[in-house]
Chain A
């Protein structure tokens, strides 16, 4: 007896899209296909998915949920709501909280809070260095024992190549992944936006594209040296795409993600000097935007990750150079990718669910719908127009408010349960 039947939609399977009904029971997909018996009266719910697309629940490799320490911006509960409202069933929480997640008990705190909230899987990541100070190694064994597989000092670069080498050597046997925020501190030079014609004319200190590529190039030599899995967080430049492509051709264990806003806006948006366009890495040139889109389409860039970075309105509504970095993205991510790229639905779910789940080692997420698979699913209306206006996130620092996007999220299923419907948590 099914709990839910998703009727009449397009199901994205490993063999491509099919028109079929999806039967969900006992946290798994029980059956897929037309002709299955209809749900008995009162025993389950039939959800009309005519015209809708059913795929694996989205997986975000990169979110900032601000808990513990900055709960006025976001917390695990509000972040979970934002996630499911955007069609995500698993999100990785960056460790740059206060305190930073650099030991096992802190990682367990995140997992425990995720389970308490129960809307989606919030998966802790761990710091590479203790207190994210860039000086000594974090408690990597404790973190690994607590289930952490992705290690990052996101927000800052591990600038010391010797220290990064030791982290890689340590993690390679533990199947850990190093996710690098690539920004050479010297070349970044305190910049507030992409260094180029626009920053030059506005008189704002620029952050050169080479601040990213020099770190990626350096790190790739360490990957060659150690064999550790390596992931470029929020790739923003054409140069990084070229480096990743060459590294993959060489056979290095390297992956990369791109943030939706880097697929949509260029540094031209900063001419308004509106801090809603301030994020790190900064919005780059139109040429970078196009190369990132191509890289995502060809698969050189494996995944889309939001870099969801909430900030309270009063923190962001200041002069551009004084504003904190980052924008929220969970609730608009798929719509932005759908609008900004030529990817079809299958490719979008590959880059936003299947590949990120593989990179993070998540067995229960990112599986193409099939009988017996965990029922972590997302249903989208891929071709409808939609204008974001309100958010579940505690913060509203989104550059997409009021813009017309395609592909509004409809129904997220987490472990077999519809968790979100009509703008609120499903009871």
Chain B
């Protein structure tokens, strides 16, 4: 079994992973934060896109479970000599890993890797398709804050159209019972939202007071100008989480962001440092959530 996306996993699956993550959070808080759950197993990290936080988070998770780790990045490797993805992953497979964690710029690449290798594969982000462990760590962060996701109002704000985080979070949050509203200019909303179990808004001001979670996405500067919105200042004026909008939020509501943040663009500097901004909790929960996914795939009865 693989973890290629949230789709295809029901609420029970996601809750098993979240419950495991709660247990592993306790492990991570021990003086010696390591358990032998995956001793003797080897996890291969295959990262075709540059990534620091996600790769380190996976590495920390694997090591806390006592798994061995192989790291592969294409720079300076056989890939620069023209080796195909298929040959690369089959070569890595020949070295005997039990699972591959794959990040790739093309949607569906981890699915191909799973088919080629027959190994369990964890999708660590593929194009604009899915980033399911991000969705698990975000769901974990929200559940730890509010106890559950049922009936929470979660607003995802920003470049939803090009975001794998948005796609996996929409699937996870709604599967776990939350209501999701997507907030962005039309050019950054899904081009066709018929299959998205969400509502849409083009005004952050209209929805901000109703939200329990304001989930901000990174705005890529290159999308400004001629591309999909007129300019960054215009984006900030309508969709940035400014101090004024932060003040308009429900007092219990929290702010989340998958990082890395653009301070002063999608999030005001002082909002980013507020105690209701859970950005660092998300990072911390990422290790536990990834431990849970790895253990779910490789540990105990579910392995094989």
Please list the residues of chain A having a beta carbon within 8 angstroms of any beta carbon in chain B: 195-206, 273, 314, 317-322
Given contacts A203-B164, A319-B104, A319-B108, contact A196 B192 (CB under 8 A): yes
CA–CA, A79 to B104, complex, Å?
35
Q: Name the CB-closest residue of A to B166.
A: A203
Q: Name the CB-closest residue of A to B111.
A: A273
CA–CA, A198 to B194, complex, Å?
9
SS class, residues of chain B in contact with chain A:
loop
Given contacts A318-B85, A318-B112, contact A197 B195 (CB under 8 A): yes
Instruction: Write the nearest CB–CB distance from A411 to chain B, whole angstroms.
Output: 39
CA–CA, A320 to B108, complex, Å?
7
Residues in B83-141 with C-beta less than 8 Å from chain A? 84-86, 104-109, 111-112, 126-130
* Cβ–Cβ < 8 Å partners of B85 in chain A: 318-319
Q: Is B229 an interface residue (CB 8 A)?
A: no
The answer to whether A273 touches B190 (Cβ under 8 A) is no
* Cβ–Cβ < 8 Å partners of B105 in chain A: 321
Kindly identify which residue among A197, A202, A317, A318 contacts B107, using a CB–CB cutoff of 8 Å: A202
CA–CA, A424 to B196, complex, Å?
51
The answer to whether B86 touches A204 (Cβ under 8 A) is no
Kindly identify which residue among B106, B127, B191 contacts A200, using a CB–CB cutoff of 8 Å: B191
Q: List 10 A-B contacts (CB under 8 A).
A: A197-B194, A197-B195, A200-B190, A200-B193, A200-B196, A204-B107, A204-B128, A273-B108, A317-B112, A319-B85
Please list the residues of chain B having a beta carbon within 8 angstroms of any beta carbon in chain A: 84-86, 104-109, 111-112, 126-130, 161-164, 167, 190-196
Instruction: Write the nearest CB–CB distance from A72 to chain B, whole angstroms.
Output: 15
CA–CA, A319 to B104, complex, Å?
9
* Cβ–Cβ < 8 Å partners of B104 in chain A: 319
Kindly identify which residue among B86, B129, B193 contacts A203, using a CB–CB cutoff of 8 Å: B129
Q: Name the CB-closest residue of A to B129.
A: A203
Given contacts A203-B164, A204-B129, A317-B86, contact A322 B106 (CB under 8 A): yes
The answer to whether A203 touches B130 (Cβ under 8 A) is yes
Q: Considering residues B109, B161, B163, which has the most beta carbons from chain A within 10 angstroms of its beta carbon? A: B109
Instruction: Write the nearest CB–CB distance from B133 to chain A, whole angstroms.
Output: 16
CA–CA, A322 to B48, complex, Å?
13
* Cβ–Cβ < 8 Å partners of A202 in chain B: 107-108, 129
The answer to whether A321 touches B106 (Cβ under 8 A) is yes
* Cβ–Cβ < 8 Å partners of A205 in chain B: 128
CA–CA, A201 to B112, complex, Å?
18
CA–CA, A319 to B127, complex, Å?
10
The answer to whether A203 touches B127 (Cβ under 8 A) is yes
The answer to whether A318 touches B192 (Cβ under 8 A) is no
List of 6 A-B pairs having minimum Cβ-Cβ separation, nearest first: A273-B108, A203-B128, A319-B106, A319-B109, A203-B129, A321-B106
The answer to whether A200 touches B195 (Cβ under 8 A) is yes
CA–CA, A200 to B192, complex, Å?
6
* Cβ–Cβ < 8 Å partners of A195 in chain B: 191-192
CA–CA, A203 to B130, complex, Å?
8
Q: Name the CB-closest residue of A to B86.
A: A317
* Cβ–Cβ < 8 Å partners of A197 in chain B: 192, 194-195
Given contacts A202-B129, A203-B127, A314-B84, contact A319 B107 (CB under 8 A): yes
Apart from A199-B191, A203-B130, A318-B84: 12 A-B pairs, beta carbons within 8 A: A200-B191, A200-B192, A201-B196, A203-B107, A204-B128, A318-B85, A319-B126, A320-B107, A320-B108, A321-B108, A321-B127, A322-B106
The answer to whether B167 touches A203 (Cβ under 8 A) is yes
CA–CA, A206 to B192, complex, Å?
10
CA–CA, A317 to B112, complex, Å?
8
Q: Considering residues A195, A314, A322, which has the most beta carbons from chain B within 10 angstroms of its beta carbon? A: A322
Q: Name the CB-closest residue of B to A203.
A: B128
CA–CA, A199 to B190, complex, Å?
9
CA–CA, A198 to B163, complex, Å?
15
CA–CA, A114 to B163, complex, Å?
50
Q: Name the CB-closest residue of A to B191.
A: A200
CA–CA, A321 to B85, complex, Å?
13
Q: Name the CB-closest residue of A to B170.
A: A201
Instruction: Write the nearest CB–CB distance from A285 to chain B, whole angstroms.
Output: 10
CA–CA, A204 to B109, complex, Å?
12
Q: Name the CB-closest residue of B to A270.
A: B108
Q: Name the CB-closest residue of A to B108.
A: A273
CA–CA, A195 to B107, complex, Å?
15
Q: Name the CB-closest residue of B to A317.
A: B86
CA–CA, A199 to B105, complex, Å?
16
* Cβ–Cβ < 8 Å partners of A314 in chain B: 84, 86
